[in-house]
Amino acid sequence: MIIWGFRVVYRALTTGIFYCPEEGGDRPYTLKSSQRFFTLFFIPLIPLKQNANVVECQSCMSKFYETVLQRPTASLLSNAMGEAVRGAAIAVLRSGTLTDAGKQQTILLVSHYITGYDDAMLLHDKSQLDLGPLPTHLGSLSSSLDEHGRELLLHHLVLVAVADKAGVNESERNILLQVGSDLGMTEAHCRGTIDSIVEGSAKA
């Protein structure tokens, strides 16, 4: 008896680190090409149409479509988060008057993301930090944060702006609107978020 059949043959292409959605963390992966073969006595004989590449997690062995590699890794995301919050808070500080309350609010916020962020680092950043990469950091967050996450981030930055008890001035508002836009928020959503906090802080 002749035994015919099909078999998928995987071949490793590259390896790296990715965010495994199955496990919710950064793991090593192998990218594999996959091709169906016509088999004779279980031996792959005739190659058929090439299948889509698969990404195989080397920790849980789950297989994913290659698009899974477009998601940022957890470490990349937390780094972008830290740098985005730091840069945006500094941009806000630079456009207002620097008060102790403003400094405290910024340190409180940034030290959530960057361990050991303190007064000395803030003063250094105030004069030296290059804000050129800020839109890139914000942009990389926009696809990973949901609407609530974006609003929360902007909310925290507005708190930095109003900490000096002088409300939100024209240039602070422009910075906040730009940050919101880089995060992928609509202008109306940004204005609403800013205004609700400004009103709240005026009453307090």
What is the enclosing helix (H) or strand (E) of 21?
A: none
Select from 49-57, 70-78, 154-162, 194-202 the region that touches Zn ion (CB under 5 A).
Answer: 49-57
DSSP E strand stretches across 41-166: 43-57, 63-65
Select from 15-23, 32-40, 44-52, 138-146 the region that touches Zn ion (CB under 5 A).
Answer: 15-23
For the CB of residue 141, give the shortest distance to Zn ion in the complex, in Å: 23
Select from 27-35, 102-110, 147-155, 168-176 the region that touches Zn ion (CB under 5 A).
Answer: 27-35
For the CB of residue 72, give the shortest distance to Zn ion in the complex, in Å: 16
Distance, CA of 154 to CA of 39 (rounded, Å): 58
For the CB of residue 24, give the shortest distance to Zn ion in the complex, in Å: 9
The C-alpha R_g of the chain, in whole angstroms, comes to 25
Residue keyed to tokens 């950091």: 137
- Candidates 8, 11, 23, 174; binder of Zn ion (CB under 5 A) is 23
Task: Name the residue nearer to Zn ion (CB basis): 43 or 60.
Answer: 60
Identity of the amino acid at 19: Y
Task: Name the residue nearer to Zn ion (CB basis): 26 or 37.
Answer: 26
Task: Name the residue nearer to Zn ion (CB basis): 40 or 60.
Answer: 60
For the CB of residue 28, give the shortest distance to Zn ion in the complex, in Å: 9
Tell me the C-alpha to C-alpha distance, in Å, between residue 186 and each of 91, 111, 123, 136, 183: 20, 28, 32, 18, 9
Q: What character string, x for contact with Zn ion (CB under 5 A) and - otherwise, covers 55-94?
A: --x-xx----------------------------------
Closest CA to 102 of 168, 163, 167: 163
26 binds Zn ion (CB under 5 A): no
Distance, CA of 128 to CA of 4 (rounded, Å): 70
Residue 37 backbone phi and psi in degrees, to 5: -125, 150
**Given the rule CB under 5 A, which residues bind Zn ion?**
20, 22-23, 27, 57, 59-60
